Amino acid sequence: MMRPMRKSPPKRSPGKPRSTQPQPRPADTASGGAGTAAGVQFITVPDELAGQRIDNFLQARLKGVPRSRVYRILRKGEVRVNKGRVKAEYRLQAGDLVRVPPIRVSEEPPPAVAGEQLRRTLEAAILYDKGGLLVVNKPAGLAVHGGSGVRLGLIEALRQMYPESPFLELVHRLDRDTSGAILVARKRAVLLHVQSTLRAGKMAKSYLALATGKWPRAQKLVEAPLRKNTLKSGERMVVVDGEGKPSTTRFQVEERFSGATLMRAEPVTGRTHQIRVHAQFVGCPLAGDAKYTPDAVNASFREVGLKRLFLHSAAVGCTLPDGTRVHVEAPLPSELVAVLDRLR
């Protein structure tokens, strides 16, 4: 889920001399490597990387540096673009000059290899592959990308499966425990186009979620601002807070059970854990949610066979740059269908 773009930092004035600006060393190019202790790098963004987020740009060049460290140097202003501070969501423009501070880089471990079983699972999970767009029915438990202790995620596995594709990038994200349809671009033009519709709120996304308890009949729209919290343990939590970012989710009752309600959720905005926290805010947290649902409640659903978060990206829809309309549905996983059958 993407956040709105930040406005561009101040550009260099083409009329001013550049004698005061440290010049890039030969190694400080867009493909610049990093040793165990890299010095300051000044990297000029090439045309083909225009539109990439600065955090992803840095992550690709600072191999072995934890993602949390990348965000920290961005927050502290150690990274500069055209001499200005930027946020993690800033999208680079061709010709931007990026200053990367000295940072100690650990030796890069050998890349994790997608096993045969994962490859077969993902091959069977390809729902759409046309016009530079992949739609994958992501299994629950698979992170969308590596990092934070995860060596292999969906995007890394797909890049190994499609070695002939020079470009493969996530259009948006799903939580690790969420299953279902996720978009992956095989062309940069497709990535930029679909992400622009996503930020404009024009991309259709529909989820199936099992809410605990009896969902209020009148509660069809939740508008509650969300704010991220990071606990001392490093765990990321999201709370409803008046100073948070505006967040809206549409909810529709699909089926009622004793002690649970199957809901269709359509996020209007795309905040982290949005559906999960909005359901909790209503008083009906999602079944199997270890982060936002009480353990005692989850224990009762384990008795009917629920061993994971019941949240599934059921359908996605967008348009491609040539105007082609795409609508793809991802079937509910068999283990979730079995839970519903036991509840009926």
Compute the distance between CA of residue 321 and CA of residue 190 in angstroms, rounded to an integer: 6
Is the Cβ–Cβ distance between 43 and 24 less than 8 Å?
yes
Angle, CA 215 vertex, CA 330 and CA 303 arms, to 5°: 70
Looking up tokens 């997608």 gives: 114
Determine whether 175 is an active site residue. Answer: yes
Find out whether 177 and 231 touch, Cβ atoms under 8 Å.
Answer: no
C-alpha distances (whole Å) from 113 to each of 38, 148, 173, 174 are 27, 17, 21, 22
Fill in the amino acid letter for 10: P
28, 96, 175, 289: the active-site residue:
175
> Are the C-beta atoms of residues 57 and 39 closer than 8 Å to each other?
no
The closest alpha carbon to 173, from 205, 216, 150, belongs to 205
Q: What residues contact residue 336 under an 8 Å CB cut-off, 6+ apart? A: 179, 208, 210, 306, 310, 312
Q: How far is CA 257 from CA 36, 211, 251, 342, in A?
A: 57, 10, 17, 10
Query: Which residues belong to the active site?
Result: 175
